[in-house]
Chain A
Amino acid sequence: MELVSDVLIKNGLLFAFVVVGAVMWLSYYVSHHLTRGRLHGSAVAIIMGLVLAWLGGLFTGGTKGLSDIPLFAGLAIMGGSMLRDFAIVSTAYGVDLQEIRRSGMVGVLSLLLGIVLSFVVGAAVALMFGYNDSVSMTTLGAGAATYIVGPVTGSALGASSEIVALSVAAGLVKSVLVMIGTPFIAPYIRLNNPKAAMAYGGLMGTTSGVAGGLAATDKRLVPYGAMTATFYTGLGCLLGPSVMYLMIRTVMGG
């Protein structure tokens, strides 16, 4: 037994392929037989992945889901940012550049609107709960943008570690909600064409959320959504401690 687990741990990435292959198979089986294809196999697979992450987190108390269990550490390589970005870029192969150029303006607008909206919403929620200093409000707003913008903004502004932790949690809620919710909300917001996908990436901004959500909706939309989402976190980190903080401080009267 120990011999087997030693081999599996030593060849972690290969075992991750086996595990994900099994999850995919199970998900498509469930999709066909239990939901009669109404819920797409990839959506089921992503939800299963999140459930596994939840179980892994409960079991280990760690922050990296199932991969905190040594046996499943290979999942962190397979699902880590390097291979994720590699696969995202590969989906752009064969994409028509004209399409991106046509929707470029919408993409830029969606980025600005998405960032400002998240900051305003986060700041308003902070205020509702009694965090009425502009540093805390801006930091929670940054977390409502993405879970990377939150701590970056918080540390730039010198926010308390409590509020930084809250901002990370807000970003995680958003990321998980986008991953699970996108296929369900897509028909209602007409998320079924490249232009809408570009707007989606810019409005949501969370790379993992958009990557997962669009995969579960229609893989052909992935390159367009990813194209704009990739600018979001950087722009958020740029605007957060500067423009957004000044804006919120002005509104709050110093």
Chain B
Amino acid sequence: MIVYGVAVLAACLIAGMIVGDALGALLGVESNVGGVGFAMLLLILLTDRLRRAGQFPQHSADGVLFWSAMYIPIVVAMASIQNVVAAVGAGPVALLAGVLATVLSWGLVPVLSRIGGAEPPLPPISEEAEV
């Protein structure tokens, strides 16, 4: 059933959030540390194991894949609720700090991804397949 996939996904996120919040509390910061990351790892491990055991048929996978397909629309909704006015109207101090931090970080991407050998680019994909 599709809901099994949705349930596994939701359980993974909740578990990850709990771990992230606990880690934050342990480190003494008022912030979630890596909750989404832990949830992703959990989902990868759990669904892999279930699939091998034949317990995660395509119907269950569809429950996860639906949300994956909703990712871009959800991000568009996220974009529409950002405080863009404050970003656009930021004075020179904030503007310079934000822009410089971004641009310099961009510059470091090729440097870091070369460590341990550069990876080949992903194969091209058609727009239909992606959306």
Q: How far is the CA of A65 from the CA of B84 in the complex (A)?
A: 7
- Nearest-neighbour CB distance to chain A for B113, whole angstroms, equals 4
In contact, A125 and B80 (Cβ under 8 angstroms): no
Closest A residue to B73 by beta carbon equals A20
- Nearest-neighbour CB distance to chain A for B21, whole angstroms, equals 10
* In-complex Cβ contact of A75 among B12, B16, B80, B90 (8 A): B80
Knowing A118-B101, A185-B106, the reply to whether A173 touches B90 (Cβ < 8 A) is: yes
Interface residue A29 (Cβ < 8 Å from any Cβ of B):
no
B interface, how many residues as a size bin? 35 or more
Knowing A234-B23, A234-B34, the reply to whether A196 touches B82 (Cβ < 8 A) is: no
* In-complex Cβ contact of A148 among B31, B77, B87 (8 A): B31
Closest B residue to A180 by beta carbon equals B79
Q: How far is the CA of A126 from the CA of B39 in the complex (A)?
A: 37
**A-contact bits for B15-57, CB 8 A (1 contact / 0 none):** 0110010011001111111111101110111011000000000
- Nearest-neighbour CB distance to chain B for A222, whole angstroms, equals 7
**A-contact bits for B99-112, CB 8 A (1 contact / 0 none):** 11110111111101
In contact, A129 and B113 (Cβ under 8 angstroms): no
Contact partners of B110 in chain A: CB under 8 A: 189-190, 196
- Nearest-neighbour CB distance to chain B for A143, whole angstroms, equals 7
Contact partners of A219 in chain B: CB under 8 A: 71-72, 130
- Candidate in B82, B125, B127 with the most chain A CB atoms within 10 angstroms: B82
Chain B, interface SS category: helix
In contact, A191 and B71 (Cβ under 8 angstroms): no
Contact partners of A172 in chain B: CB under 8 A: 82-84, 86-87, 90, 94, 98
In contact, A50 and B79 (Cβ under 8 angstroms): yes
- Nearest-neighbour CB distance to chain B for A59, whole angstroms, equals 10
In contact, A89 and B77 (Cβ under 8 angstroms): no
> Count of chain A residues with Cβ under 8 Å from any Cβ of B?
123
Knowing A179-B79, A204-B105, the reply to whether A91 touches B68 (Cβ < 8 A) is: yes
- Nearest-neighbour CB distance to chain B for A99, whole angstroms, equals 9
**B-contact bits for A222-241, CB 8 A (1 contact / 0 none):** 11001110110111011000
Chain A residues in contact with chain B, CB under 8 A?
Answer: 16-17, 20-21, 23-24, 27-28, 37, 40-42, 45-54, 56-58, 63-67, 72, 75-76, 78-80, 83-93, 95, 97, 100, 102, 105-106, 109-110, 113-114, 117-118, 121-122, 125-126, 128-129, 131, 140-141, 143-145, 148, 152, 166-179, 181, 185, 189-196, 199-200, 202-204, 207-208, 211-212, 215, 218-223, 226-228, 230-231, 233-235, 237-238
